[in-house]
């Protein structure tokens, strides 16, 4: 069952198209990464998912219900951008008013979510004294209230130290293992790569790539070839059948088979010093996708 | 709905609300103190025309006697109004006029407009997406804060005003301590309706201003504008300020003012009490309509 299903989702602000015909499906129990450069439309999409802004066109189904349906939104745990709290209340009081605002069902869970996010010791302190990392944890604690089947969170590890990032990563995985779907946007691509089951990349409001993070890299593996300096010119000519560029005395060939590349060189009389297949990290692939997506959007007007 | 209201009331326990409510109570005490001192000064030196200060004509004796009698009557009226049973008129009049308007404007600004400024509106709407309920909870909680301040003002004045009157050396009141309590409670009940009007305007202003300062300014400014309009012949009868004037039946003030409204509301032909009440209810309905319309728009905070 899909917990999020968007069909041709579009949002315009005047003449600006923030999100353009976005199709997206998130299955129950998945950790789904939502990536894109600044201004790509990530937060606009999240706001539409949470009913804060209305789509200009298209449809959203959240937890099986078509939006706008406040019941679906109130069953979704959420944290948008930097979490906001009432500074004159303590951490525990902030969670209490959050639970009460949701109908009081989660009022008995404050201890559980405070412990899960490591805030038990500071729960009695006013939020105005919290560090950014503590506020981030409190935002996650608030999102977890009521054991929601879906969490929609923006930059969950923002402001956390390395130990905190590791804890949150574990927390998200535990939630997913217990059946909670997590839809998260992040700019920490290493985190996304480690935590997410699937990833979508959005550029200029358009979905440009979607799939498991490993596949996103694997489909664009590349071959790094080192040849003798005397053979460089010939090798360059032989490799023109692929996208290849010289880099630091080597050639980087956009192809996923080292065997093909080596065979082409041997057939042309060039013996390579080394041939190595590289699977780019998600970060490299993300930057490539963004670059390609930006060109495509510019070309398409 | 009750959980949501409980959450909103919990959020009201903050320095801004305490401070403003305390300032209003202190203002009521200050007004009483000033009135008692003015009444004593009037008693000690009644207003006698200069020509009669030295003269001993029969006509001047009459004028002097009348001046003393007027001063004694004014002092006695002040002393009577300062009794626990009567002082509710002062509390009700203050809270149903400019001091009450300022109180509600401050609370609406912090409690409702501030939700946008601090971006907590996102979290609130993600927990309770039924925006009509959120508006109702904001209106009710703001109203309740106003009513509690009225009650506090009534109780503090009931305890302090007789002491202030006695300390100022005013003559003893003619009637007993609790004389006029019924009419005081009736005035307080009417003030509760006016506070509901101010709270409705504050709630609508929050959805228009979407910020603390803007909400405070719009709440206070709209009613101050209504006060100005109330002075315009013909049009003035349709001003919400005229509705308040008619419903509260504010009269001319003695040493101890029972409102800060009638002197600004114009002296046009007065509406009946029921017409005033109907006007207030229509104004609340219009404010609710504006709030619903504005709050249905995208929330981009």
Residue A66: strand pairing partners: A61
Cα–Cα distance for residue pair B163/B83, rounded to 1 Å:
9
Please, what is the end-to-end C-alpha distance for chain B in angstroms? 24
Q: Do the beta carbons of residue B219 and residue B105 sit within 8 Å?
A: yes
Say whether B127 and A101 touch across the interface (CB within 8 A).
Answer: yes
Q: In what order do the strands lie in the sheet with A57-62?
A: A16-27, A2-13, A57-62, A65-66
What 3-state class would DSSP assign to A301? coil
Residue A185: strand pairing partners: A34, A154
Residue A251: strand pairing partners: A225, A246
Mutate to test the interface with B, among A14, A45, A100, A144 (most CBs of B within 10 A): A100
Residues in chain B with CB shorter than 8 Å from the CB of A80 are 122, 126
Cα–Cα distance for residue pair B27/B108, rounded to 1 Å:
20
Residues of chain B below pLDDT 50: none
How far, in whole angstroms, is CA A93 from its chain's centroid?
Answer: 31
Question: What is the distance in angstroms between the Cα of A96 and the nearest Cα belonging to chain B?
Answer: 8
Residue in A68, A93, A98 nearest the CB of B123: A98
Say whether A80 and B126 touch across the interface (CB within 8 A).
Answer: yes
What 3-state class would DSSP assign to A90? strand
Q: Do the beta carbons of residue B212 and residue B117 sit within 8 Å?
A: yes
Q: What is the pLDDT of residue A266?
A: 92
Q: What is the pLDDT of residue B38?
A: 83
Mutate to test the interface with B, among A97, A104, A138, A183 (most CBs of B within 10 A): A97
Q: Do the beta carbons of residue B187 and residue B84 sit within 8 Å?
A: no
Contacts of A240 (CB under 8 A, 6+ apart): none
Question: What is the distance in angstroms between the Cα of B148 and the nearest Cα belonging to chain A?
Answer: 21
Question: What is the distance in angstroms between the Cα of B138 and the nearest Cα belonging to chain A?
Answer: 12
Cα–Cα distance for residue pair A216/B291, rounded to 1 Å:
47
Question: What is the distance in angstroms between the Cα of A156 and the nearest Cα belonging to chain B?
Answer: 15
The string of pLDDT tens digits covering residues A51-89 is 899 999 999 999 888 888 888 888 899 988 788 999 999
What is chain B's length? 301
Cα–Cα distance for residue pair A236/B138, rounded to 1 Å:
71
Cα–Cα distance for residue pair B54/B48, rounded to 1 Å:
10
Say whether B120 and A86 touch across the interface (CB within 8 A).
Answer: yes
Q: What is the pLDDT of residue B233?
A: 77
DSSP conformation class of A126: B
Residues in chain B with CB shorter than 8 Å from the CB of A50 are 122, 125-126
Residues in chain A with CB shorter than 8 Å from the CB of B3 are 100-104
Q: Do the beta carbons of residue A105 and residue A146 sit within 8 Å?
A: yes
Query: Nearest CA to B53 among B67, B37, B41?
Result: B67
What 3-state class would DSSP assign to A1? coil
Say whether A93 and B10 touch across the interface (CB within 8 A).
Answer: yes
Say whether B122 and A100 touch across the interface (CB within 8 A).
Answer: no
Q: How many CB atoms lie within 10 A of CB B176?
A: 11
Measuring CA to CA, how many Å separate A39 from each of A4, A81, B117, B121, B274? 22, 13, 22, 22, 56
What DSSP assignment string belongs to chain B?
A: -HHHHHHHHHHT-SHHHHHHHHHHHHHHHHHHHHHHHHHHHHHHS----HHHHH---HHHHHHHHHHHHHHHHHHHHHHHHTSTTTTHHHHHHHHTSHHHHHHHHHHHIIIIIHHHHTTHHHHHHHH---HHHHHHHHHHHHHHHHHHHHHHHHHHHHHHHHHHHHHTTPPPPSS-TTTTHHHHHHHHHHHHHHHHHHHHHHHHHHHHH-SHHHHHHHHHHHHHHHHHHHTSTTGGGGSHHHHHHHHHT-----SS-S-SSTTTS--SPPPPHHHHHHHHHHHHHHHHHHHHHHHTS----
Residues of chain A below pLDDT 70: 188, 217-220, 279-285, 296-301
Helix (H) or strand (E) holding A34: strand A31-35
Is the pTM value of this prediction over 0.80? yes
Cα–Cα distance for residue pair A121/B88, rounded to 1 Å:
48
Residues of A with CB under 8 A from a CB of B: 47, 50-54, 68-71, 73-74, 76, 78, 80-89, 93, 96-98, 100-104, 142
Cα–Cα distance for residue pair B282/B243, rounded to 1 Å:
10
Q: Do the beta carbons of residue A290 and residue A36 sit within 8 Å?
A: yes
CATH fold for domain A222-278: Alpha-Beta Plaits (3.30.70)
What 3-state class would DSSP assign to A60? strand
Residues in chain B with CB shorter than 8 Å from the CB of A100 are 3-4, 6-7, 10
Residues in chain B with CB shorter than 8 Å from the CB of A51 are 125-126, 129
Say whether B10 and A104 touch across the interface (CB within 8 A).
Answer: no
Measuring CA to CA, how many Å separate A209 from each of A24, A62, A155, A212? 11, 22, 20, 10
Q: Do the beta carbons of residue A114 and residue A124 sit within 8 Å?
A: no
Contacts of A21 (CB under 8 A, 6+ apart): A8, A9, A10, A57, A58, A206
What 3-state class would DSSP assign to A5? strand
Cα–Cα distance for residue pair A79/A148, rounded to 1 Å:
13
Q: What is the pLDDT of residue A217?
A: 55
Cα–Cα distance for residue pair A132/A82, rounded to 1 Å:
9
Q: Does domain A2-212 have CATH number 3.40.50.300?
A: yes
Backbone torsions φ then ψ of B123, nearest 5 degrees: -65, -40
Q: What is the pLDDT of residue A4?
A: 92
**Domain ranges, ordered by start, for chain A:** 2-212, 222-278
């Amino acid at each position: 069952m899909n917990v999020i299903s968007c069909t041709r989702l579009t949002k315009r602000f005047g003449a600006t198209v923030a999100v353009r015909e976005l199709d997206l499906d998130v299955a129950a129990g998945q950790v789904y990464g939502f990536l894109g450069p600044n201004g790509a439309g990530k937060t606009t999409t999240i706001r539409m998912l949470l009913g804060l802004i209305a789509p200009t066109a298209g449809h959203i189904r959240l937890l099986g219900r078509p939006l706008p349906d406040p019941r679906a939104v109130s069953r979704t745990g959420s944290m948008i951008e930097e979490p906001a709290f009432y500074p004159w209340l303590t951490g525990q009081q902030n969670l209490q008013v959050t639970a009460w605002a949701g109908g009081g069902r989660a009022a008995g869970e404050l201890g559980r979510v405070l412990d899960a996010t490591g805030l038990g010791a500071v729960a009695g302190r006013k939020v105005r004294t919290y560090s950014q990392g503590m506020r981030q944890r409190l935002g996650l604690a608030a999102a977890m209230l009521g054991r929601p089947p879906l969490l929609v969170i923006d930059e969950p590890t923002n402001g956390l130290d390395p130990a905190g990032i590791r804890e949150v990563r574990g927390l998200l995985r535990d939630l997913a293992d217990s059946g909670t779907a997590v839809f998260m946007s992040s700019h920490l691509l290493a985190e996304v790569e480690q935590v997410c089951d699937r990833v979508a990349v959005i550029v200029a409001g358009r979905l440009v790539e979607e799939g498991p993070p490993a596949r996103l890299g694997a489909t664009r593996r590349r071959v790094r070839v080192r040849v003798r300096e005397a053979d460089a010119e010939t090798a360059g000519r032989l490799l023109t059948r692929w996208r290849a560029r010289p880099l630091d005395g080597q050639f980087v060939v956009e192809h996923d088979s080292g065997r093909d590349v080596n065979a082409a060189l041997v057939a042309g009389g060039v013996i390579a010093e080394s041939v190595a297949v590289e699977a780019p990290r998600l970060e490299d692939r993300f930057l490539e996708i963004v670059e390609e997506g930006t060109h495509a959007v510019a070309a398409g007007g | 709905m009750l959980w949501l209201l409980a959450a909103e009331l919990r959020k009201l326990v903050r320095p801004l609300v305490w401070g403003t409510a305390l300032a209003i109570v202190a203002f009521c005490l200050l007004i009483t103190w000033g009135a008692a001192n003015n009444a004593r000064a009037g008693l000690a030196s009644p207003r006698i025309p200069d020509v009669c200060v030295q003269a001993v004509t029969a006509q001047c004796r009459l004028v002097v006697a009348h001046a003393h009698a007027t001063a004694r009557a004014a002092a006695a009226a002040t002393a009577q109004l300062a009794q626990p049973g009567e002082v509710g008129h002062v509390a009700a009049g203050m809270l149903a006029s400019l001091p009450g308007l300022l109180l509600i404007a401050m609370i609406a600004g912090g409690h409702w407009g501030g939700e946008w400024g601090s971006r907590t509106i996102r979290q609130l709407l993600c927990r309770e997406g039924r925006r009509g309920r959120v508006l109702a909870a904001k209106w009710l909680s703001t109203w309740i804060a106003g009513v509690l301040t009225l009650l506090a003002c009534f109780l503090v004045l009931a305890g302090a005003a007789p002491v202030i009157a006695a300390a100022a050396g005013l003559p003893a009141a003619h009637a007993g301590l609790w004389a006029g309590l019924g009419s005081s409670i009736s005035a307080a009940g009417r003030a509760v309706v006016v506070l509901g009007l101010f709270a409705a305007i504050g709630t609508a202003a929050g959805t228009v201003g979407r910020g603390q300062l803007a909400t405070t300014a719009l709440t206070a400014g709209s009613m101050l504008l209504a006060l100005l309009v109330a002075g315009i012949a013909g049009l003035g009868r349709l001003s919400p300020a005229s509705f308040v004037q008619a419903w509260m039946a504010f009269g001319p003030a003695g040493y101890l003012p029972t409102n800060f409204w009638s002197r600004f509301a114009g002296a046009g032909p007065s509406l009946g009490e029921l017409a005033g009440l109907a006007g207030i209810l229509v104004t609340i309905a219009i404010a609710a309509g504006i709030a619903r319309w504005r709050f249905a728009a995208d929330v981009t905070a």
